[in-house]
Amino acid sequence: MKKAPNINDLLPHLGRMLSLLTDAQRASLAKAATVHTYRKNELIYSAGDHPEKLYCLVSGKVKICREGVGLRTQIVRVIRPVEYFGYRPAFVGENFVLSALAFEPTVIVCFPIDMVMAMIHENASLAWFFMQRLAEDLGRADERTVTLTQKHIRGRLADALLFLKESYGLEEDGYTLSIYLSREDLANLSNMTTSNAIRTLSAFASERLVAVDGRKIKILEEEKLAKISRMG
């Protein structure tokens, strides 16, 4: 990990949170902010670490993971650009129970979490902002739990592909997912073995639901994938 300059250039692009601060709060937070760059698959924080920062993804993609039984890893959720993360454990006085890694070369702005929490006590609009974020995260977590525990393999993979489309969108052709995943990452996102992910993705390709070119995946039949996801 290495620090990058130009924090003042990045701050205007960090979404709604900064607009909720007073001028004095915004100036203090900007002065304390740092910018960090991460390589592909580099660790951002690890389960068991003490939370010290509020993270905001500026560019790139981040996966939040839980180590499973043996060598299995499960991708619990993904972080989108201009999304804040890493604050829940600090709010309840816990260490991280999940790990965060960069999917690809990534830039993150970090703010001292103690400073942010002090501002939340002073600023009702900022408190409401984080309450909404936590409620949204809880709703998505509930949906993912149903998907990963109750759906069959085809339903889980279809849901994962649609989840990636919703999270990161499509490239200019209107079909290709704007994220290139390894088969292992796709399996970890779908809670299945890598071999099952490969077989199921190949089946989708033979049914012309998707087209696969290396790590590039095109969604050809979104409605049919959504139906497979709903049916489980």
pLDDT tens for the chain, residues 1 to 232: 444 545 667 777 677 788 898 889 988 998 999 999 999 999 999 999 999 999 999 999 999 998 765 557 788 889 988 899 999 999 999 999 999 999 999 999 999 999 999 999 999 999 999 999 999 988 888 777 777 777 899 999 999 999 999 999 999 999 999 999 899 999 999 888 999 999 999 999 999 999 999 999 999 999 999 999 988 6
- Can you give the pTM of this predicted structure? 0.86
In which element (H, E) is residue 110 found? strand 106-112
- The answer to whether the 2-148 and 152-231 domains have the same CATH topology is no
The ranges assigned to domains in the chain are 2-148, 152-231
User: What are the two backbone dihedrals, phi and then psi, of residue 7, each rounded to the nearest 5 degrees?
Assistant: -60, -40
Distance CA 79, CA 17 (A): 16
Distance CA 58, CA 111 (A): 13
Distance CA 15, CA 65 (A): 25
Q: Look-up: residue for tokens 């949906």?
A: 143
Distance CA 197, CA 159 (A): 12
The reply to whether CATH 1.10.10.10 applies to domain 152-231 is yes
Q: What token pair was written down for 213?
A: 């070119």
User: For residue 191, what are the contacts with CB-CB under 8 A and spacing of at least 6?
Assistant: 74, 148, 156
Class of domain 2-148: mainly beta
Query: What length is written for the chain?
Result: 232
